[in-house]
Amino acid sequence: MFDRTGAASSTLRAVLWDMDGTLLESEHLWDIGVRELSLHLGGPMSEETRLATIGASSANALSIVFSALGLEQTPQALADAKRWLYDRMGEHFSAGLPWRPGARQALRTVRSAGLGSALVTNTDRELCEFALETLGREHFDHSVCGDEVPAGKPDPAPYLRAAELLGVDPQHCLAVEDSPVGAASADAAGCTVLVVPSITTVSESPRRIFRTTLEGLTATDLHALHSGTAV
C-alpha cells in the first residue's frame, strides 16, 4: 500500500491505457522487429540495447539502435530504418494480436463504471489503427499515438495530451502500464500508475501500484488502486 493525500487526488475519473504489452500481447513482437532491424542495419542487438528499447517511441528506439551500431543518424537513414521497421511490424501485426490476460474484460469494466478511457501508446497512428480493429474503438473516448505528441514516452506529453482530450486533470487518472518507459511517462504526467509487467521489470515509485494481472479487475479495485486504499 502507498500513501497519497488530498481529496482531489482520491477521485478517479478516467483510465489511460498503454497498448503494447498491456492490452495486447505485442511487446514481444516489437522485440522481434527491433532485433530484425538491428540485423538489417548491420549487427545483432545486445541485451542492454534490447532492454533500452522496450516501450520506447519509434524515434527513441531508432536512436538507441543506431547508437549501439555506431551508425550516423542522418534524417534519411532514420526515415529509411523507420519505414523498414514499420513495414516489418505490419507483417507481424497482421499475423494476429492476442490479448493480454484480463485486458478485454478490464476495458469493459471501465466502460460499465462510467469512467473516461483513452489509449496512450508510443506506437505511431499507422499501426495503432490496425491494433484498434482488435481492441475495439468503442472502448476508448480518445487515442494518443507516438507521432501525435512533441515527445513520446518517457516524456509526459502523451499522458498529458490524453488527460487534456478527456477534460480531466492527470491526478484524476489511473494509467495502466507494463514498461519502465511507460511508467515513467505516466508518473511524470501526475497520474497514478497501475503497473502490470510483461517482459521487463519496473521499479517502484510513490505513484506506482503493482498487480500481476488484469484478470479479475473490478470497478471497486480501480477506485481503490487510484486512491491508495488497495492492499
Report, as residue numbers or ranges, the catalytic residues: 18
Q: Which amino acid is at 39?
A: L
Cβ contact 186:16 at 8 Å: yes
- Dihedral angle of Cα 154, 52, 86, 63, to the nearest 10 degrees: 80
**126: its cell numbers:** 499507422
Cβ contact 3:160 at 8 Å: no
List, as one string, the DSSP characters of 17-69: E--BTTTBTTHHHHHHHHHHHHHHHTSPPPHHHHHHHTT--HHHHHHHHHHHH
